[in-house]
Amino acid sequence: MLFQSFVSFVFFVDLKNTRAMALVVFEQSLNLEAPFPMSKPRILVTRAVFPDVLERLAPYFDIESNQEDCIYTEEELREKLRDKDGVFTTPSERVSAATIAACPQLRAICNMAVGYNNIDLDAASQAGIMVTNTPDVLNETTADFGWALLMATARRVTESEHWLRAGKWEKWRYDSFLGADVHGSTLGIIGMGRIGQAIARRSTGFNMQVLYHNRSRLSEDLERAANNARYASKEDLLRQSDHVILVLPYSAATHHTITAAELALMKPSATLVNIARGGIVDDAALIDALRTGRIAAAGLDVFENEPRFHPGFLSLSNVVLTPHIASASEPTRRGMANTAANNLIAALTGGRPANLLNPKVKPKA
């Protein structure tokens, strides 16, 4: 039987001089199953998180938290999950098929991210485990940051700042740090989901032409809303664009979408920005292209094998490097954490999470 309410209350029952007390807590918009178990479900929160998020979870769960923010090995994570009903994860934890098989009690994996390539979704589904992510809440913030990287890359912002801090600024010169114009140029977007479309909308104020490549073409209405974006093959987009932004999800199919062959198609004056996932770009090939002037510059928020990224980037002045912070505004990161918490509460209290990645899963009892 399901109940839905908007208040919290305590009631008392007196049966044959035996006094029983039950505290029933209802939260607005959450469906909770009754009768309630005598013990709370046990969960692991794998990384440090806002303390108020832990406070939100506390009425529902017996929590093992990690406010020290240790990075667990896969073996350590597996051991911690053996007696857990749910887990609040981040992209830094790999939840493999082997880990899932070793944790038969696990019923929900709730990732604080849009991407979920750190989780074996097929294995989780076969095991009856619900898996969720946190879409939409970070679309606009990530699009903002894509533009920040694009502008910094095109106009050589970090390169010139380092030069200034090194005490090298002695006079103005006509050719100091000449970069590329953004206004009036052609923007190529590979991956035209919600974030890609948000990036395209922002290009209107720069009077840009927008090309995009996607698994499927958008509707005419969505293309119109995205600054009249035009669909193009990947090859044509790379040849024609002055600035290319990568916003596609990582999968086996998208691994190394950009290799030496794709970089060779780009204009020597072009820039490449990656706010998608590490592994979308062959980083070694990109380093070579930047070093040899095959393309002008790059802006990167994600890397292969991050945080242990390729050291070759550090010797290049024509690349802007940031540590995977595209969604890192306080309101957005709080929104992501609370969305993951909502998903976990729903999954383990008899409800259906709003962001279920495997909707056909048959949840464990």
- What's the CATH code of the domain at 111? 3.40.50.720
Tell me, yes or no, whether 131 and 81 share the same domain: yes
> Would residue 17 count as lying in a domain?
no
> Exposure pattern of 310-346 as b/e (b: 16+ CB <10 Å)?
eeebeeeebbbebebebbbbeebbebbbbbbbbbbbb
> Exposure pattern of 83-114 as b/e (b: 16+ CB <10 Å)?
ebbbbbbbbebbbbeebbeebeebbbbbbbbb
Tell me, yes or no, whether 223 and 297 share the same domain: yes
Task: Calculate mean pLDDT across residues 208-231.
Answer: 98
Query: Quick check: 17 pLDDT over 80?
Result: no
> Would residue 311 count as lying in a domain?
yes
Tell me, yes or no, whether 214 and 239 share the same domain: yes
pLDDT of 364 reads 84
Tell me, yes or no, whether 196 and 226 share the same domain: yes
Query: Quick check: 345 pLDDT over 60?
Result: yes
> Would residue 92 count as lying in a domain?
yes
Task: Calculate mean pLDDT across residues 297-311.
Answer: 96
Q: Sorting pLDDT into bands at 50, 70 and 90, what band is 336? A: very high
Task: Calculate mean pLDDT across residues 229-243.
Answer: 98
Tell me, yes or no, whether 145 and 283 share the same domain: yes
> Would residue 2 count as lying in a domain?
no
Total number of domains constituting the chain: 2
Query: Quick check: 260 pLDDT over 80?
Result: yes
Which residues carry out catalysis? 277, 306, 324
> Would residue 46 count as lying in a domain?
yes
- Convert the pLDDT of each residue in 266-291 to its tens digit: 999 999 999 999 999 999 999 999 99
> Would residue 25 count as lying in a domain?
no
pLDDT of 3 reads 36
Mean pLDDT score across all residues of the chain: 91
The span from the CA of 195 to the CA of 192, in Å, is: 7
Tell me, yes or no, whether 170 and 304 share the same domain: yes
pLDDT of 285 reads 98
> Would residue 28 count as lying in a domain?
no
Provide the whole-model pTM. 0.86
> Would residue 69 count as lying in a domain?
yes
Tell me, yes or no, whether 265 and 216 share the same domain: yes
Tell me, yes or no, whether 312 and 336 share the same domain: no
Query: Quick check: 255 pLDDT over 70?
Result: yes
Tell me, yes or no, whether 143 and 118 share the same domain: no
The span from the CA of 48 to the CA of 92, in Å, is: 12
Tell me, yes or no, whether 215 and 335 share the same domain: no
Tell me, yes or no, whether 54 and 145 share the same domain: no
pLDDT of 162 reads 97
Domain boundaries, position 104: 37-135+331-348
Record the tokens describing residue 57, joined without a space.
């979870």
Query: Quick check: 115 pLDDT over 70?
Result: yes
Tell me, yes or no, whether 166 and 309 share the same domain: yes
Record the tokens describing residue 43, joined without a space.
């969960």
Residue type, 195: I
Best CA proximity match to 198, nearest among 266, 145, 272? 145
For 215, the enclosing helix (H) or strand (E) is none
